[in-house]
Amino acid sequence: MIVLGIETSCDETGAAIVTDKKEILSNIILSQIADHAPYGGVVPEIAARAHLDHLDGLIAEALARAGVDLGALSAVAATGGPGLIGGVIVGVMTAKALALARGLPFLAINHLEGHALSVRLTSDVDWPYLLLLVSGGHCQLLLVEHVGGYRRLGTTIDDAVGEAFDKAAKLLGLGYPGGPALERAAQTATAPGRFALPRPMAGRPGCDFSFSGLKTALGRSLVGLPQPLSAGDAADLAAAFQMAVADVLVDRTARALALAVAAAPGCRTLVVAGGVAANRLVRTRLQALTHQAGWRFEAPPLGLCTDNAAMIAWAGLERLRLGQRDALDFAPRPRWPLDPAAPRAPGAGVKA
């Protein structure tokens, strides 16, 4: 089977061709960083218009690079939500049109499910496993039991971790996108322990997250420092913030390991996915945690951690093999929880 995947949930336009033999024949991502950089964040209207301008061309390029034509496709999969609704609409309507014109199954994929299943495209990971999903719009711990079977163990009660990185970088004048810029600055710190920042929720029962207070504390640390910040001050603050985030993620995930085993005794694998999974310190700390606990650590390759269409195509394949497909009257969703039974967290990010 060969599936075309389309990703348009935020500020990356993606098209990919993936086979059921775990072959990524093509995976094209058009970044909109330059379009949004002047605003210091993603502008939904600009993002939607960019998807509309470029998606058709990207699909044609993905097919050409893969060496296949539309007649070779088994299905078309597109992100159906959650995300910025204008962009989601562009991807869903394009996928529906292709599916209708070619008589192909249409699959509306939950963007979070794309992240959740992406590791199965590149590694032999069996059910069940614990997923830490960390990105610009998400921060959740989920027990993944099978395709479509997700139990949320913890989530952010305010900001997602990737959003926190972006806003922290903006406070420090490090540019956009903030996560990579903050990580680069932290690597040049000469006194990473110079600023004391809190570890929100650390040590508390459960495994929910909070990052709003950490951002506030960072802002207060700027008081009294010469403005604009020197490169050295910005680097030390970036390192302090990054260490605080890593400590919180490790603390919350450690609690989730115990909850996952209690719910599914065979669970012994931690999967980390989403853009923040590319952060080296976060990865290293979580690898150490799993090693100490006797668990297996897995993460998709860095290119599949951030938003991409290959993960959407793969999630489509996982569902197609189970005989699933969606009707063409599917309505794009700005919110779409993986675990519908879990309570909605107050103040969670737009994709939560």
Q: Six-digit token pair at 347?
A: 């103040």
Q: What is the widest separation between alpha-carbon atoms in the chain?
A: 65
Say if residue 284 is exposed, middle or buried (CB neighbours under 10 Å; 0-12, 13-18, 19+): exposed
Query: For every one of its 352 residues, what pLDDT tens digit does the chain have, with 9 covering 90 and above?
Result: 999 999 999 999 999 999 999 999 999 999 998 898 888 788 999 999 999 999 999 999 999 999 999 999 999 999 999 999 999 999 999 999 999 999 999 999 999 999 999 999 999 999 999 999 999 889 999 999 999 999 999 999 999 999 999 999 999 999 888 999 999 999 999 999 999 999 999 999 999 999 999 999 999 999 999 999 999 999 999 999 999 999 999 999 999 999 999 999 999 999 999 999 999 999 999 999 999 999 999 999 999 999 999 999 999 999 999 999 999 999 999 999 999 999 876 544 433 3
CATH topology of domain 2-117+303-320: Nucleotidyltransferase; domain 5 (3.30.420)
**In sequence order, which residues have a C-beta less than 8 Å from that of residue 138 and are 6 or more positions away?**
112, 115, 160, 162, 274, 349, 351, 352
The model's pTM is 0.94
Q: Six-digit token pair at 231?
A: 């490169």
Strand partners, 132: 141, 272
The per-residue DSSP string of 63-104 comes to HHHHT--GGG-SEEEEEEESS-HHHHHHHHHHHHHHHHHHT-
* All structural domains of the chain with their residue ranges: 2-117+303-320, 126-302
Please tell me if the domain spanning 2-117+303-320 has the same topology as the one spanning 126-302.
yes
Across the beta sheet with 106-110, the strand order is 24-31, 12-19, 2-7, 75-81, 106-110
CATH class of 126-302: alpha beta
Q: What DSSP designation does 344 have?
A: P
- Helices 231-263 and 212-221 pack at an angle, to 10 degrees, of 160
End-to-end CA distance of the chain: 31
